[in-house]
Amino acid sequence: MKLKYSLITRRTFLNTLFGGWFVAFFSGTFYALMKFAFPTLGKEPDFVVLNRKDFTNLANNSIKRFPWGGTVGFYFKKADGAILALKGVCTHMECNVDYKPAERRFYCPCHQGWFDENGKNISGPPPKPLEILVITEEGEKLIIAKKGVKVELPKA
Amino acid sequence: MNCPRLKDWLEERYDLEGMKRLAKGKLIPEHRYDLWYYTGGITLFLFILQFVTGMLLALYYVPHIDFAHKSIIEIVTKLNLGWFFRSLHHWGAQLSIVFLFIHLFGTLLMKSYRKPREFVWVTGFILLGISIFFGLSGYLLLWDERAFAAVRVATGGAGAFPVIGGFIKAFLRGSIDVTGDTLLRFYAFHVAILPIITLGLVGLHILLVQYHGMSVPLSLQGEKKREVPFFPNVFYQDLSIWLVVTGVLVTLAVLLPPEIGIKADPLAPPPENVKPEWYFLFLMETLKLFPGSILGMNGETIAIMLVAGAILFFFLIPFFDQKSARGEKSPLFTWIGVIYLLYFLIMTAVGYLS
C-alpha cells in the first residue's frame, strides 16, 4: 500500500538524523573518557608470604602488623598464647583498628568501635566481626591467607 | 588617570559609554537585612585568594606518595614566606566554608531561593558541594595520618551507597584502598578539575544574580523601596569589608599556623580521637548515632541513605516551597530551615567537644 502523504516531514527526518548523530557522538566520547578515568582495579591479596622468624618471638597479648595489600593485617598472640591472624581494618568505615592490651580488645579510634579478642564486634557502630585470616607454616615461610583460598606458591 | 588618546582608541572599538551606563544602572536594595548581601561577595573574594595562594603552592608541591609530606614541610620551613602562604591557603579554605554556610543559611531563611531564582540556589548549592570536595582533596595532599584516615572514611562512606557506591568509591580512590593512586587523583581534582568547574559555576552564579537582581525578603516587600547604586556605593563597601576579611585571615594565618601530622602509614592505626575537618563533624556524629545493624540491614548504608536523602531535600527546597514561590509567607520552610541549621550547629558542637 502506498501512502499519499509522508509520515514525517523532511525537517523532522533531518532533525532526528542530526540529533541522533549528536547523541551517538557524545555518548561515545563520554564513554571513552569515563573508561579511561575509571581505574583498572587491583584486588585484595588472596594470601601473603611472610618470614616466620619475624613473628616467632612475639610476647603474649600483643600484635605484630604486616602489610595486607594496601591495608594492614595483624598477627595476634592472645593472652593465653593462642595465635590468630586478622585483617586490621574496621568493618564500619575501613579505619585501621588498634589493639588495646589492657582491655584485651581491638579498638577503632574513628567512630569508637570495639571488637573482642576473637575479632567479634561488641560495641559501637561496626556491623561485622573483623575478618579472620588463616595461618599456615611452611618451613621458614609463614603464609597468611583469606579463608577458603587455596595457596599456590610459585615454584622457587 | 586620564589618557584621552587611549580612551578615544578604546571608544572607537568598544561602546565604553554604554558599559558605563550599564554599570550605573545597577541598583542594590537597601533594607535592614542588606548585610546578608555581602556574604556572597566575601566568599567570592576568598575564592580568588584561594586561587592565588593555590597557584603559588602548586609551584613547589610534589604529588607523590613518597615526597608529598616532605615537600609541604619544605614549603613551610625552607621557602621564602612558604609558611605564610600555606597558612593563608589553609585559613582561606576554612573561612570560605564558614562564609559559604552563612551565605547558604541566609539565603535559606530569607527564602531568596524562591521563584524565579531557583537556579541561583542550584548553582550555589553545587558550589558548596564542590568546595567541600576541595577541602577533602586539599586535606589529603598533606598525606598525614589524620588526612589518610579521613579520606578512607569519606570514600568508604560513599562506597556504602547501594548499587552505585562501588563505582564512586573506585573512581575516587583510583584503587581498592587509599594509596598513592588516590593522592595523585585527589591532586588532579584539587588543582585541575574542580577549579575549572568552579570558575564556570561561579561565573554562571554571578551572571544569574545580575540577571535577576538582588532578592528582597518577603517580609519587606510591602515597604517602600529604597535603592543605592552598586557603583560606587556598594562596591566600596564590598571592598572595605574584603579588607577586614583580609585582616582577619592574615591574623589567623600568622598566629595559628595549621599543624602537619605524622606522615601517613597504611599499617598504623589512626591517632586517638581522630576527627575530620569541622565541616564533616556533623556527618561523623550522625554516623555514630547508628548501630551496626538495624533490623538485619547494614546500619551504615541506612545512615548514608538518610543523610543523602536529607541533603537532596535541602537541595530541592526551592522546588518544594510553593508558598514562597507565589510570594506568600511560608513558615513551614522557615521551620525546616531552622531545624537544618540547629542540627548542623549542634552536631558540629557535639563533634567538636566530644
Tell me, what's the pLDDT at B165?
87
Closest CA to B277 of B82, B104, B144, B125: B144
If you write DSSP's letter for every residue of B28-97 in order, what string do you get?
Answer: EE-STTGGGHHHHHHHHHHHHHHHHHHHHHHTT---STTTHHHHHHHHHHHSTTHHHHHHHHHHHHHHHH
Partners of residue A39 in chain B, C-beta under 8 Å: 170-171, 173-175, 181
- For chain B, the structural domain boundaries read 33-220+227-267
3-state SS, residue A101? coil
pLDDT of residue B240: 96
Range of the domain at A94: 47-145
Per-residue cell: B282: 556533623
Query: Are B267 and A65 inside 8 Å of each other by CB?
Result: yes
Chain B CB within 8 Å of residue A83 CB: no
Q: Contact, A114 vs A122, CB < 8 A?
A: yes
Res B102: pLDDT: 96
Rounding to the nearest 10 degrees, give the CA dihedral for residues B335, B339, B342, B347. Answer: 180
The ipTM estimated for the assembled molecules is 0.80
Best of A93, A108, A130 to disrupt the B interface by mutation (most B CBs within 10 Å)?
A93
Work out how many domains chain A is built from and give that number.
1
- Please identify every stretch of chain B with a pLDDT value under 50, giving residue numbers as ranges: none
Is A97 within a domain? yes
Whether A34 is in a domain gets the answer no
| pLDDT at A156 (0 to 100) | 58
Contact yes or no for A69 and B300 at CB 8 A: no
Residues of A in contact with B164 (CB under 8 A): none
The domain B33-220+227-267 is placed in CATH, from the list 1.20.810.10, 2.40.30.10, 1.10.10.10, 2.30.40.10, at 1.20.810.10
Taking the CA atoms of residue B198, residue B199, residue B202 and residue B207 in that order, the dihedral angle to the nearest 10 degrees is -150
Which of chain B's residues have a Cβ under 8 Å away from the Cβ of A50? none
A76 strand-pairing partners: A63, A84
Q: State the nearest Cα–Cα gap between A27 and chain B, in angstroms.
A: 19
Whether B228 and B28 have beta carbons less than 8 Å apart is answered as: yes
Under an 8 A CB cutoff, do A96 and B267 touch?
yes
Q: How far apart are CA B314 and CA A103, in angstroms?
A: 43
Burial class (CB in 10 A: 0-12, 13-18, 19+), A3: exposed
**pLDDT, position B99:** 97
Q: Does A36 touch chain B (CB under 8 A)?
A: no
CB contact under 8 A, A112 and B288: yes
Q: What is the CATH number of the domain that holds A137?
A: 2.102.10.10
What is the tens place of the pLDDT at every residue in B115-155? Answer: 999 999 999 999 999 999 999 999 999 999 989 988 988 89
Whether the CA torsion B63, B68, B73, B78 is positive or negative: it is negative
Q: How far apart are CA B137 and CA B139, in angstroms?
A: 5
Q: Do A92 and B292 touch (CB under 8 A)?
A: yes
| Per-10-residue mean pLDDT, chain A, length 156 | 82 94 97 90 84 86 89 91 90 88 89 89 86 89 87 70
Contact criterion met (CB < 8 Å) for A67 and B267: yes
Which residue, among B122, B127, B91, has the nearest Cα to B252 in the 3D structure?
Answer: B91
CB-nearest to A126 from B178, B268, B292 is B292
